[in-house]
A and B are shown apart, each in its own frame.
Chain A
């Protein structure tokens, strides 16, 4: 089946530093990547949508200069949290939508970010 590999699974960083999260579609081409964040006991909130080779579309209230999304290839998308603050601590999940075969929305395993 379709697999999306997300790394790292957890990361601790200091305030003010930047953190990059990677998502790779391993066996299909991801035409669209979605990035979500989830706070404890809450739902998944969409942050942005990106199509390969295009600029990401950010949801209302999401700072595009803080959450940099790159989707340079059909198998790789990255989310960089810049100048991280403790309030950015959350669970970040990517989802890839691909074509070919039985591929719908496949989610990565998530990244737990803790900013100290």
Chain B
């Protein structure tokens, strides 16, 4: 049973516009959420995270929103750039820092020039 789901396998967006990636989870014990960017044959690169005590975290072009009641989080990238084209994974963990991460299935983003 997938505890973290990314229901959109792919997303295409024009350069300069906003990219919105969604992630849903079922485990109510998850309290820390992360977004990673990944290129083929490389390890994931950390983008941004959010703790369950917050509902929004912003870092430059990246903003993560958390809706605990809906068990839903989203990543906004604005403005989108061609270099943002990659696969994006959301991940979640529960309990103490350093516990294992559970990953979603990923969303492939293509930013068109």
Contact = CB atoms under 8 A, between A and B. Distances in A.
B41 A110 contact: yes
Contacts of B46: 104-107
Interface stretch (A14-22, A63-71, A73-81, A89-97): A89-97
Closest A-B pairs by Cβ, 7 of them: A107-B43, A97-B98, A43-B105, A44-B103, A109-B43, A43-B103, A107-B44
A49 interface: yes
A29 to B, nearest CB: 12
Contacts of A107: 36, 43-46
Contacts of A106: 46
A32 B106 CA distance: 24
A104 B41 CA distance: 22
A95 B46 CA distance: 11
Most chain A beta carbons < 10 A, residue from B45, B104, B106: B106
B101 interface: yes
Nearest to A36: B103
A93 B39 CA distance: 13
A108 B101 contact: no
Interface of B: 34, 36, 41-46, 49, 89, 97-98, 100-106
Interface residues of A, number: 24
A6 B44 CA distance: 13
A85 interface: no
B101 A34 contact: yes
Nearest to A48: B100
Given A43-B89, A43-B106, A44-B89, A93 B44 contact: yes
A93 B105 contact: no
Contacts of B106: 42-43
B35 to A, nearest CB: 12
Given A43-B89, A104-B49, A110 B42 contact: yes
